[in-house]
């Protein structure tokens, strides 16, 4: 089975711009979670989608949004980028009923740099 894929792998944007990141989960997984990883902060939970519905949301401003499509692919969008948004954004998919009950499988991440 192919693993979790994320595109693009690297992005450079300037402050005030917006960005859309994409994640394709492992085939058959209906749960997709997004995390922001920064040095010293570990992984900060952004949101989890399950069968096109947002199941959980982390403590991030409304500039961070996401969605999931009927084929379980997910996108996250960050509007009005700030310097502090520079990070590695990780996507993870999980089988069955999702991350609360199962192992998560992580993608390689998208490295976002905001200048």
Partner 1 sequence: AQSVSQHNHHVILSEAASLELGCNYSYGGTVNLFWYVQYPGQHLQLLLKYFSGDPLVKGIKGFEAEFIKSKFSFNLRKPSVQWSDTAEYFCAVNAAGGYQKVTFGTGTKLQVIP
Closest CA to 111 of 44, 11, 20, 4: 11
Closest CA to 85 of 8, 18, 5: 18
Residue 28 is encoded by which pair of tokens?
């058959």
- Region near partner 1 per CB under 8 A, out of 7-15, 16-24, 66-74, 101-109: 101-109
CB of 91 to partner 1, least distance (A): 10
CB of 43 to partner 1, least distance (A): 4
Q: Does 49 bind partner 1 (CB under 8 A)?
A: no
Q: Does 41 bind partner 1 (CB under 8 A)?
A: yes
d(CA 113, CA 115): 6
Q: Does 45 bind partner 1 (CB under 8 A)?
A: yes
Q: Which of 21, 25, 30, 33 binds partner 1 (CB under 8 A)?
A: 33
The burial of 68, by beta-carbon neighbours within 10 Å (0-12 exposed, 13-18 middle, 19 or more buried), is given as: buried
Q: Which of 1, 42, 70, 84 binds partner 1 (CB under 8 A)?
A: 42
Strand order in the sheet with 64-68: 5-7, 19-24, 74-78, 64-68
Q: Which residues contact partner 1 (rule: CB under 8 A)? A: 3-4, 33, 35, 40-45, 48, 50, 55-56, 58, 90, 92, 97-101, 103-108
């Amino acid at each position: 089975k192919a693993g979790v894929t994320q595109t693009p792998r690297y992005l450079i944007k300037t402050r005030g711009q917006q960005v859309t990141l994409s994640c394709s989960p492992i085939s058959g997984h209906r749960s997709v979670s997004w995390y922001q990883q920064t040095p010293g902060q570990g992984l900060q939970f952004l949101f989890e989608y399950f069968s096109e519905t947002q199941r959980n949301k982390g403590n991030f401003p409304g500039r961070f949004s996401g969605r999931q499509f009927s084929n379980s692919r997910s996108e996250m969008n960050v509007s009005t980028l700030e310097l502090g948004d520079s990070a590695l954004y990780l996507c993870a998919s999980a089988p069955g009923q999702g991350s609360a009950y199962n192992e998560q499988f992580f993608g390689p991440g998208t490295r976002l740099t905001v200048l």
